[in-house]
Amino acid sequence: MNNSQNENSICGCNIIHEDIVNKVSQLLPADDLLYKLSDFFKIIGDKTRIKILHALFESEMCVCDIAYLLNMNQSAISHQLRVLKTAGLVKFRKEGKVVYYSLDDDHVKNILDQGLIHLSHK
Amino acid sequence: MNNSQNENSICGCNIIHEDIVNKVSQLLPADDLLYKLSDFFKIIGDKTRIKILHALFESEMCVCDIAYLLNMNQSAISHQLRVLKTAGLVKFRKEGKVVYYSLDDDHVKNILDQGLIHLSHK
DNA sequence: TGAACATATGAACAAGTATTCATATAAGGA
DNA sequence: TCCTTATATGAATACTTGTTCATATGTTCA
């Protein structure tokens, strides 16, 4: 237990447990890494994108197929596919006019499945 | 290959591969479940909350400690702790004025670690 | 070459959300 | 009881982001 007299200007209160804060502070991963991590979860934390990913678990699909499947217009799907592509979660191949998207990462299915397990245990 | 003459009013294009769409449509988890799943990832897809969770991996902490550790004011942390509490990811115990937060879910650390593995493999 | 179509993309708009500020609540100590 | 302090919370603000609309690009086919 370690209190200082004046409240801290940063957080607006005193440090109650300086020893714990110091210990945890050292063990915490770098900000940079944690930001990347939260960005990754942000990508899969969207209902449209998570549906696209689940669809691609089953089969590669073209933009038009996905749009029809999800009952959304082509533009919205195309925008979201770009997000997934930029994040390295999907890749594509072109065949004439048609662009086929598929998964580009083995871990993603694993992580989504873990999420489902989490939900089922709550 | 299966084209209809007029473009589809829903997605603004024709279905290219009706067979695939039908197959995937049957295999896709229920909307309800996928929404819950994306909500879960949305919770951990925030830099402040992911820092809080990582901090709590190491030790239970009071609100003030977390605020000081993350260099944020008490109110912001309190709001985010409520989000995490509502999602069932953290729990708390009271000791006088002080409220101690800790993890309330075993799967979360696992999932975050998987996320880190994903990042390191990219 | 021109029409049709699959996809991409920029801009605008709408909706959601994280943080701040002010203040309330509740507990401890003088 | 009054003062201090730890936490919670409602409202306002600022920011982020998903979707739509209009349009551009690029390919096929007649």
**A contact residues 89-118, partner B, Cβ 8 Å cutoff:** 98, 105, 107-108, 110-112, 114-118
The CA distance from A64 to A72, in Å, is 10
Greatest pairwise CA separation for chain A in angstroms: 72
B83 touches strand D (CB under 7 A): no
Lowest average pLDDT, out of A11-15, B52-56, B118-122, goes to: A11-15
CA atoms within 13 A on the CB side of A39: 14
Mean pLDDT for chain B? 91
Residues with Cβ within 8 Å of residue B97, at least 6 apart in sequence: none
Question: What does the domain layout of chain B look like in residue ranges?
Answer: 45-120
The minimal CB distance from A51 to the residues B34, B50, B88 is found for B34
The CA distance from A108 to A53, in Å, is 9
In the CATH hierarchy, which fold is given to the domain comprising A18-120? Arc Repressor Mutant, subunit A (1.10.10)
In the CATH hierarchy, which fold is given to the domain comprising B45-120? Arc Repressor Mutant, subunit A (1.10.10)
The CA distance from A73 to A102, in Å, is 19
B112/A37 touch (CB, cutoff 8 Å), yes or no: yes
The CA distance from B55 to A35, in Å, is 14
One digit per residue, the tens of pLDDT, for chain A of length 122 reads: 333 344 676 777 787 899 999 999 999 999 999 999 999 999 999 999 999 999 999 999 999 999 999 999 999 999 999 999 999 999 999 999 999 999 998 889 999 999 999 998 87
**DSSP-assigned letter for residue B30:** P
